[in-house]
């Protein structure tokens, strides 16, 4: 049977804080920019590489005439991202030296992950972890 889901996973959301969010992912977290666009004042976005997936941020357009049917333009709530990294301690120290605000400082979890989380400008939590106990 052919796998229909062979593309990359992408977490996408709209933000009213587009420039602040863009700079947070690029400059503060140091994520690689896959691509971005600025078609007009109502159509801006960026895609960042994170782990084995992508994070896409888009300026939330004002006015129904700039919105596409089928998309949800509400500000994200209750969602968080989980990103596996190869050296969580090194990343934690790097972010700590930059003054990035932590939601939770680094901790070893009983289920075998070492992790920390940060809060991005829109209130989303980014949870970074490394597996300590490989099976």
Q: What is the pLDDT of residues 46-58, one digit of tens each?
A: 999 998 899 999 9
Q: What is the pLDDT of residue 84?
A: 93
DSSP conformation class of 28: I
- CATH number assigned to the domain covering 9-63+73-131: 3.10.180.10
For 85-124, where are the E strands, in sequence order?
102-108, 113-119
User: What value does the mean pLDDT take over residues 6-24?
Assistant: 93
**What are the boundaries of each domain within the chain?**
9-63+73-131
- With a pLDDT cut of 70, the percent of the chain lying above it is 94
pLDDT digit string (tens) for 90-100? 999 999 999 99
């Amino acid at each position: 049977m052919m796998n229909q889901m062979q593309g990359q996973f992408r977490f996408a959301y709209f933000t009213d804080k587009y420039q602040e969010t863009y700079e947070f992912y690029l400059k503060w977290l140091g994520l690689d920019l896959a691509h971005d666009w600025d078609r007009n004042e109502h159509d801006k976005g960026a895609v960042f590489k994170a782990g084995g997936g992508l994070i896409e941020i888009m300026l939330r357009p004002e006015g129904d005439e700039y919105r596409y049917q089928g998309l949800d333009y509400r500000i994200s709530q209750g969602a968080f991202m989980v990103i596996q990294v190869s050296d969580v301690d090194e990343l934690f120290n790097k972010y700590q030296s930059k003054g990035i605000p932590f939601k939770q400082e680094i901790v070893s979890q009983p289920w075998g992950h070492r992790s920390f989380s940060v809060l991005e400008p829109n209130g989303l939590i980014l949870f970074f972890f490394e597996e300590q106990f490989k099976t």
